[in-house]
Amino acid sequence: MAKRDDTLPTGRAKRASAGRAALAWVLLVLLALACENGGAPGVDLPTTTAAPPTMHPEWVPVQVVAVVDGDTIRVEAGGEVFPLRYIGIDAPELSGPYTSEEPLGPEAHQANRDLVEGKTVYLEKDVSETDRYGRLLRYVYLTDGIFVNAELLRLGYAQVTTFPPDVRYQSLFLEMQADAREAGRGLWSSSLAVCDCSRDLYACTDFETVDAARACHEVCVAAGVGDVHRLDENGDGQACEGMP
């Protein structure tokens, strides 16, 4: 489930640069207008029942115009549309030109749609403006205060992924992930057998289905320990290919 975080294709670099420049101008204007209406007090640690975003005027309101997958959306601000990647979480992939579908990819996509599709959301920046694809990196809130990044973790449709320096809510995210794991929700359900990646513990025969084996493999790869259980014998990225 690790994201493709390479540089932008050459043919898109110029457009991405122009988009980032336009984005910076739009967000500066919106932020200035917000601050005129109430200043910029410090942000308390948010939870899934946080105070409404009107309490935090430094958050920038935008409109969600598309939900790409479980952790990426497109938002409109000041007449411009920008891709946005949720900070601190990683959801399973959908099938696409450069990706294959991962277990619970469609379900994570639907959960994200249920949360934000067509809605006004509020954006909070950490340190980085964008990733190397030119996507905004943001924490996202609904008008009722739900912290979308954390909620997807709590529902079990994403797992924690940390890329310093954007680590403001890492502790909260780990708590939400632990809650999902203990409750057996989503990626942590027994049917998917999301597993212990600390050492080599499993063989393909330990899993009831190939989806369960691949979910375990993908969790460990995303956690940065690679194919610790040696489930991908030929190194093609597909675990336990001999299973029915």
Write out the catalytic residue numbers: 85, 93, 135
* Residue 138: strand, helix, or coil: strand
- The whole-angstrom separation of Cα 61 and Cα 13 is 27
Cβ count within 10 A of residue 50 = 19
The b/e string for 204-240 (b: 16+ C-beta within 10 A; e otherwise) is: beebeebbbbbbbbbbbbbbeeeebbebbeeeeeebb
Q: How far is CA 239 from the centre of its chain?
A: 23
3-state secondary structure of 28: helix
Complete DSSP assignment for 163-197: -TT--TTHHHHHHHHHHHHHHT-GGGSTTTT----
Strand bridging mode 80-86 / 136-141:
parallel
Give the integer Cα–Cα distance in Å for 73 and 82.
8
